[in-house]
Amino acid sequence: MEFRRLYVLFTVILLCILVTSVCAGTDSLKQSGSTHTITDMAGAEVTIPTSITKVVNLWPASNSVMLCMGAGDLLAGTMDITKQNYWSQLVYPNIVNVPTVSDNAEELMKINPDLIITPSKETAEKLRGLGLPAVYLYFSDYDSMKKAFTLLGDILGGDYVNKAKKWSDLVDSQTTTVKSSIGDISESDRPVVYYIQGQTNQGLYTTFAAKSIMNDWISIAGGEFASKKLELDKNGAVTPEAILSLNPDIIIIGGFAEHDLYNELMNSSEWKDIKAVKNNRVYINPNGLFPWERFGMESALQIPFAASVIHPDLFKVNLVDEVKKFYTDFVGIDLTDKQAQYMIDGYGPNGEEYKNTGSSHPHS
């Protein structure tokens, strides 16, 4: 009998401990579960809701990332360039109804977002000073994209965490595959690649600086970036004398004005004797939710594309299949072969051509 009483007493005490622990755990989740503190890319600590449902995104590049992650329904404020993009409209048809916003605090307070994303440290600080949950999120190459997408995935939570990790793994695997295919090419044997920046039509002599993502994918793909050879230290114009005397082997044109620029280049008497033109090695860069060659999730596909045009004898790829698989895995939609080819050719999903539209946004 004594044993039975002790056994019952022990069981009751154990149950009380378990119940108390569960209740305490639940209270803890309520306290810390409604908000949490994250550290943005400037090192600022920002308190935001644990469950994010309304995001204002003040940068076209990171708007494209959210759409590529399948997070379009979280956008409560976006940019005109995102709304005008034909691929944005395919991926998230309601994008045309999302308000176009700026960093105007009064306007943002009316939206009352859970999160504001900006590529400007100053804007983030200004908005936080007014009580708005602004985070600095900026990326300009593959390494900073890995960090930024990981942070964005952690902020949004759920499957977005997995997609960010999957994207980083894809970039690594694409890089490994390309490098193993083309082998170790000496600098002297690397074809010189000139990139024309065509977000808007600023002519044939606008490019990116030597230290940019263009150098990243050109180098991975076994080329030599013209801006590196010319030691350009900032984005913008290069002199005609400099680039024409360099006589690039390959020219890649990107951005919304790429087709206009291509036609301009191919009809220019000034360029007709350049090796890239004479040898028919002028290429339009693929253009999806964002230009592949710039910064966005589709930039993972830029690596095999670049290798296929810089070293077509060494690297073969079925880009249509690559595009379709990427969109299934990340965006969650199945593209047709025709749609994938349109993207590769720099058009919209129904063959639409961008009529020299683009953004003058400093970070676009």
Q: How confident is the model at residue 363 (pLDDT cuts 50, 70, 90)?
A: very low
Q: What is the pLDDT of residue 5?
A: 52
- Position 248 pLDDT exceeds 90: yes
Q: What is the pLDDT of residue 359?
A: 43
Measured between alpha carbons, how far is 221 from 216 in angstroms, rounded to an integer?
9
Least confident of 22-26, 143-147, 342-346: 22-26
CA distances from 57 to 40, 128, 285, 331 (A): 15, 15, 26, 18
Q: What is the pLDDT of residue 122?
A: 98
Query: How much is the average pLDDT of 92-109?
Result: 97
Same fold flag, 38-164 and 168-344 = yes
Query: How much is the average pLDDT of 34-38?
Result: 93
Q: What is the pLDDT of residue 33?
A: 60
Q: What is the pLDDT of residue 15?
A: 43
Measured between alpha carbons, how far is 90 from 314 in angstroms, rounded to an integer?
34
What's the whole-number average pLDDT of the chain? 90
pTM comes to 0.87
Q: What is the pLDDT of residue 159?
A: 95
- Position 25 pLDDT exceeds 60: no
Least confident of 77-81, 129-133, 320-324, 360-364: 360-364
Query: Which residue carries 């390494």 as its tokens?
Result: 143
pLDDT per residue as tens digits for the range 46-88: 999 999 999 999 999 999 999 999 999 999 999 999 999 999 9
CATH number of 38-164: 3.40.50.1980
Q: What is the pLDDT of residue 11?
A: 46
Q: What is the pLDDT of residue 258?
A: 96
Q: What is the pLDDT of residue 30?
A: 29
User: Within a 13 Å sphere around the CA of 59, how many CA atoms are in the beta-carbon half?
Assistant: 24
Q: How confident is the model at residue 356 (pLDDT cuts 50, 70, 90)?
A: low
Q: How confident is the model at residue 13 (pLDDT cuts 50, 70, 90)?
A: very low
Q: What is the pLDDT of residue 311?
A: 98
Could you say which architecture CATH assigns to the domain 168-344? 3-Layer(aba) Sandwich (3.40)
286 and 228 in contact (C-beta within 8 Å)?
Answer: no
**Contacts by 242-248, CB closer than 8 A, 24 or more apart:** 243/194, 243/205, 243/207, 244/270, 244/271, 244/274, 246/192, 246/194, 247/192, 247/274, 247/275, 248/192, 248/193, 248/194, 248/274, 248/275, 248/276
Query: How much is the average pLDDT of 20-31?
Result: 33
Query: Which residue carries 């200004």 as its tokens?
Result: 126
Least confident of 95-99, 140-144, 287-291, 353-357: 353-357
DSSP per-residue string spanning 198-238: -SS---TTEE--SSSHHHHHHHHTT-EEHHHHTT--SSEE-
Domains in the chain: boundaries:
38-164, 168-344
Q: What is the pLDDT of residue 51?
A: 94
- Position 167 pLDDT exceeds 80: yes
- Position 116 pLDDT exceeds 80: yes
CA 19 to chain centre: 47
pLDDT per residue as tens digits for the range 203-214: 999 999 999 999
**Nearest alpha carbon to residue 274 among 200, 357, 354, 191:** 191
